[in-house]
């Protein structure tokens, strides 16, 4: 991973520097060959870094006197916050001064700024948010869109499927990932007109391993490698999964502390509980990629902890190394030539 540069929005997210700076310190220690550009309030960053022994060659600070707030409207930030840490981060990628970037900031603002600053790849109308989730057999499934586009037509879903297949292929070393559309049933007559037409478009492209419709309960059963839907449904699905995961963890804690016998049993089962928790821990799946752009942009959860923000940095490095935007462009060119 040498000779790479990653720009970070230090001020973004629900907790800003309190989360992003500890994650940055961790990244600087683990990736000493990576150059980091820290976009944000210079004094805040320097004051925090003064506590640590960090080599000055590993990072530089881009002072920004504005920050995008989590409740800012995208239209507002495009007009009034071009000196923000989020905007500057994207400019660095556009100007080839950074290979990729990471922000935990306002999703709508990041989407709007990315679209304006970086532009979409040829053949792509809208970028999409995509992330991986754990499945059976210790594999991953990639779900998109996760909220960047609350409504989509069939052509947009088609483009999402192409982009998702590329990211899945790169991150799992599977050259022919299975792609499916999320629907209310697996039969071809199910769903609305948009989903059915998107299915027809995907069925006409030989280079995509399109397997048809899947339902919500198929997402984690290793039925497919990529699940495609609009951002409205995708965001609800993701948040429901995260909520269920937290419920399971909290219930395990509550039951294990109920009485002396359950505390003893919990201690015996602790190694198993840790193994299961580490498998489904949402922090390690933090880092939704905003794909379809002319550059690598990774969106961390706004309420992510420092460990989760670090995983988002790691995701950005992996995508930069694998040249995901370039490969999406190449795949789109192939697919467009195959379409009837």
Question: pLDDT of 116-168, one tens digit each?
Answer: 999 999 999 999 999 888 887 778 899 999 988 889 999 999 999 999 999 99
* Segment 67-73 mean pLDDT: 92
pLDDT of residue 122: 93
pLDDT of residue 148: 87
SS (H, E, C) the chain: CCCCEEEEECCCCCCCHHHHHHHHHHHHHHCCCCEEEEEECHHHHHHHHCCCCCCHHHEEEEECCECCCCCCCHHHHHHHCCCEHHHHHHHHHHCCCCCEEEECCCHHHHHHHHHHHCCECCCCCCCEEEEEEECHHHCEEEEECCCCCCCCCHHHHHHHHHHHHHHHHHHHCCCCCEEEEECCCCCCCCCCHHHHHHHHHHHCCCCCEEEEEECHHHCCCCCCCEEECCHHHHHHHHHHHHHHHHHHHHHHHHHHCCCHHHHHHHHHHHHHHHHHHHHHCHHHHCCEEEECECCEEEECCCCCCHHHHHHHHHHHHHHHHCCHHHHHHHHHHHHHHHCC
Overall CATH class of domain 131-282: alpha beta
| Residue spans per domain, the chain | 1-124+292-340, 131-282
Q: What is the reported pTM? A: 0.86
State the pLDDT confidence band at 278, using cuts at 50, 70 and 90.
low
Classify domain 1-124+292-340 by CATH number.
3.40.718.10
pLDDT of residue 279: 56
pLDDT of residue 269: 65
- Domain 1-124+292-340 identical in fold to domain 131-282: yes
pLDDT of residue 1: 44
């Amino acid at each position: 991973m040498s000779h790479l540069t990653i720009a970070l929005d230090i001020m973004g997210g629900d907790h800003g520097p309190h989360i992003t700076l500890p994650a940055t310190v961790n990244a600087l220690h683990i990736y000493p060959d990576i150059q980091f550009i820290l976009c944000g309030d210079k004094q805040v960053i320097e004051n925090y870094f003064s506590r640590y022994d960090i080599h000055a060659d590993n990072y530089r600070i881009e002072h920004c006197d504005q920050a995008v707030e989590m409740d800012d409207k995208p239209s507002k930030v495009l007009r009034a916050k071009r000196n923000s840490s989020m905007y500057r981060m994207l400019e660095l990628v556009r100007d080839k001064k950074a290979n990729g970037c990471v922000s935990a900031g306002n999703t709508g603002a990041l989407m709007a700024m990315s679209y304006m600053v970086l532009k979409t790849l040829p053949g792509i109308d809208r970028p999409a948010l995509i992330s991986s989730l754990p499945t059976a057999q210790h594999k991953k499934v990639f779900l998109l869109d996760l909220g960047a586009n609350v409504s989509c037509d069939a052509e947009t879903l088609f483009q999402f499927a192409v982009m998702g297949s590329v990211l899945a292929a790169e991150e799992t070393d599977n050259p022919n990932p299975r792609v499916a559309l999320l629907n209310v049933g697996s039969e071809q007559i199910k769903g609305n007109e948009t989903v059915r037409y998107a299915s027809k478009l995907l069925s006409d492209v030989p280079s995509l391993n399109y397997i048809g419709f899947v339902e919500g309960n198929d997402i984690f059963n290793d039925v497919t490698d990529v699940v495609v839907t609009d951002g409205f449904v995708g965001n609800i699905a993701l948040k429901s999964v995260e909520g269920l995961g937290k419920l399971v963890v909290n219930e395990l804690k509550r039951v294990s502390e109920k009485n002396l016998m359950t505390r003893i049993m919990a201690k015996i089962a602790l190694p198993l509980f840790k193994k299961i928790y580490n498998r489904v821990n949402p922090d390690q799946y933090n880092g939704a990629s905003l794909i379809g752009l002319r550059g690598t942009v990774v969106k961390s959860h706004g309420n992510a902890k420092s460990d989760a923000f670090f995983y988002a940095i790691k995701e950005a490095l992996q995508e930069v190394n694998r040249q995901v935007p370039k490969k999406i462009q190449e795949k789109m060119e192939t697919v467009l030539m195959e379409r009837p």
